[in-house]
């Protein structure tokens, strides 16, 4: 592990070609994210935040510019090399959870280990998956299928899947987009807790109040960074949940 920034983008451009048209989705972004940061990436649709997220997640390569992840330039790697980087260093959380249907929570969580270079026995796989599921508060739900879980629980399975390979970076794309406000706070509480344990979290959102749980907000518009600032009044999801719990116990008059 090196002590430099975990993520460094140097003048990254991404241009899509559709027929005759060239669309510049990202137009010269330079960005540094240090270890242990919690960044909310914001912007309206069409601002290029999804494209940037795909590049950060090694799902896509910049047209020009460099992406240095954990000290190594990954902008020139091929499909399979990028897949290995994703497997080792990045955990994904999606808006629509993207769990495998008719598959138990445990098997969903094990998924990244199937494609990892390390050879684990089935018992090892199981044990590791169960441990991560417990850490996101899903003890006893290991054998449930996604259809038997609430939205919040499904998103926690997805978070457990993202964590199983102990990634450097957790990338979340609108993680609360399909959740009600209370469940959103629960998910934010997990993110903040993980962040305190040292995991770098990068989260795309268009909701101001969700962005307030992050430490730093990056605003995008038209493919460039409009504004990059630290959050002054940060929301604390855990204490909000405690208050809510306490008020629920108050007898109503």
CB of residue 80 vs another protein: minimum separation in angstroms? 5
CB of residue 183 vs another protein: minimum separation in angstroms? 21
Q: Which pair of structure tokens corresponds to residue 124?
A: 């090892």
Using the minimum distance from each CB to another protein, give the nearer residue, 103 or 227.
103
DSSP characters for 152-183?
Answer: HHHHHHHHHHHHTT--SEEEEESTTTTS-HHH
**Residue labelled with tokens 């047209």:** 63
The distance between the two most distant Cα atoms of the chain, rounded to a whole number of Å, is: 67
Using the minimum distance from each CB to another protein, give the nearer residue, 99 or 212.
99
CB of residue 24 vs another protein: minimum separation in angstroms? 17
Using the minimum distance from each CB to another protein, give the nearer residue, 22 or 81.
81
Using the minimum distance from each CB to another protein, give the nearer residue, 43 or 91.
91
Helical pair 181-196 and 237-249, crossing angle rounded to 10 deg: 130
Using the minimum distance from each CB to another protein, give the nearer residue, 5 or 146.
146
Alpha-carbon distance of 240 to 217, in angstroms, equals 21
* Interface residues toward another protein, by CB under 8 A: 54, 57, 59-60, 79-80, 83-84, 86-88, 92, 94, 98-103, 107, 111-112, 114-116, 161
- CA angle (16, 45, 70) in 5-degree steps: 65
Using the minimum distance from each CB to another protein, give the nearer residue, 78 or 233.
78
**Four-residue CA torsion sign, 27, 212, 238, 152:** negative
CB of residue 115 vs another protein: minimum separation in angstroms? 4
CB of residue 92 vs another protein: minimum separation in angstroms? 5
DSSP characters for 57-92?
Answer: TTSS--SEEEEEETTEE-TT--HHHHHHHHHHHEEE
CB of residue 156 vs another protein: minimum separation in angstroms? 16
């Amino acid at each position: 592990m090196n002590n430099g920034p975990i993520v460094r983008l140097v003048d990254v451009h991404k241009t899509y070609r559709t027929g005759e048209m060239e669309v510049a989705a990202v137009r010269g972004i330079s960005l540094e994210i240090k270890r242990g940061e919690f960044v909310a990436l914001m912007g309206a649709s069409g601002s290029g935040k999804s494209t940037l997220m795909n590049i950060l997640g090694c799902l896509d390569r910049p047209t020009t510019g460099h992406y240095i992840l954990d000290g190594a330039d990954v902008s020139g790697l091929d499909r399979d090399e990028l897949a290995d980087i994703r497997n080792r260093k990045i955990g994904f959380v999606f808006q629509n959870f993207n769990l495998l249907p008719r598959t138990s929570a445990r098997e969903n969580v094990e998924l990244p280990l199937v494609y990892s270079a390390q050879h684990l026995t089935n018992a090892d796989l199981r044990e590791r998956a169960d441990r991560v599921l417990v850490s996101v508060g899903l003890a006893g739900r290991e054998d449930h299928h996604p259809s038997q879980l609430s939205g919040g629980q499904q998103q926690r399975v997805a978070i457990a899947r993202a964590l199983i390979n102990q990634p450097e970076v957790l990338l979340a794309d609108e993680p609360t987009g399909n959740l009600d406000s209370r469940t959103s706070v629960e998910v934010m509480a997990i993110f903040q807790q993980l962040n305190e344990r040292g995991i770098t979290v990068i989260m795309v959102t268009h909701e101001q109040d969700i962005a307030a749980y992050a430490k730093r907000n990056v605003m995008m518009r038209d493919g460039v960074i409009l504004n990059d600032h630290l959050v002054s009044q940060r929301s604390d999801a855990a204490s909000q949940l405690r208050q809510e719990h306490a008020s629920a116990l108050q007898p109503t008059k």
